[in-house]
Amino acid sequence: MSKISLILLLCVSCLGVSASAEEWTKSYQVSNNPSLHVDTNDAAIEVTHGVSNTIYVRVIADGVSIGGSGVRITERQDADKVDLQVHIPNEWGFHIGVHRGVRVEIQVPPQAALDLHSGDGHISVNGISGQTRLDTGDGHIDVQNFSGALHGHTGDGHMTIDGVFTDLDLRSGDGHVNITVRPGSKLNSGWLIHTSDGSVDAKLPQDLAAELYAHTGDGHIQLDLPVTVSGSIEHSRVRGKLNGGGPLLEISTGDGSIRIGKY
């Protein structure tokens, strides 16, 4: 067998090899209302509700080691405050056919306050009712079964949001926004839903009271619920009252269409 044939055979063999994943786990004893801060440069973050009085963290590294020159985990607990940092090495090297990825899975008490940041990974939250702030530079945001105040930002990803809200601030630099606002939601102050480059599809409860201002730079607006319009109706701009008005609900996109419908 020639040297070239041997090299090709070795490369093909590498394509069928899957690197074993490493895991790191830890539990923290807290009250029913803890706060959790997570900061990672390049990992996905997935948070679900768990049992009371416990925060459980699991870091799964596929194709890269944990510790040493691999994934570096720094954690600290101060009473009911837990801080977790997961740093992934920038230079992972060249490995044919090897999938690499890091995921941070966390279970928290339902009323935990969350502050989650990923430089380049998606963030998902399910079943949380504490004040939540989510930020990712280049990933999507998915929030389900939420209740409370939510602030979310992604530089280059879409958002799928569903819950009962008291405060809402959603911003995407380059992605569409799909949001379902369930009955029981109330604007304690102004809400903002904005994407610079993408569509917005919002479903609102029929009894939501707000001053609606929807505008798009390059698209159209479709309204499928009653709005008492103030001034003239424009193709790309609508202002009016929902159920007599209230705090400002602003929905905007720089380049995309807006659809506002009934829940």
181 vs 162: CA distance, rounded Å:
6
The DSSP-derived string for 226-253 is --EE-S---SSEEEEEETT--SEEEEEE
Tokens of 243: 């159920």
Predicted confidence at residue 7, as pLDDT, reads 39
Distance CA 96, CA 118 (A): 26
Q: What is the DSSP string of 133-186?
A: EEEESSS-EEEEEEEEEEEEEESS--EEEEEEEEEEEEEESSS-EEEEE-TT--
Predicted confidence at residue 234, as pLDDT, reads 75
Q: What is the pLDDT of residues 80-133, one digit of tens each?
A: 999 999 999 986 444 444 446 999 999 999 999 999 999 999 999 999 999 999
Residue 232: predicted pLDDT: 64
Q: Please say whether the beta carbons of 105 and 60 come within 8 A.
A: yes
d(CA 52, CA 259): 39
Phi, psi angles (nearest 5°) of residue 9:
-65, -40
Residue 16, pLDDT score: 35
Asked if 191 and 169 touch (Cβ cutoff 8 Å), the reply is: yes
Contact 259, 222 (CB under 8 A): yes
> What are the Cα distances from residue 168, in Å, to 85, 90, 112, 206, 236?
26, 34, 17, 18, 23
- Structure-token match 């080691």, residue found: 65
Our measurement of the distance from residue 190's CA atom to the centroid of its chain's CA atoms, rounded to an integer in Å, reads: 21
Angstrom distance (rounded) from CA 261 to CA 44: 31
How many angstroms separate the CA atoms of 47 and 123, rounded? Answer: 8
- State pLDDT tens for residues 1-15: 444 443 344 343 343
Domain ranges for the chain, please list them.
17-139, 166-263
Question: How far apart are the C-alpha atoms of 81 and 221, rounded to whole Å?
Answer: 43
All residue ranges of the chain with pLDDT < 70 are 1-19, 91-100, 231-233
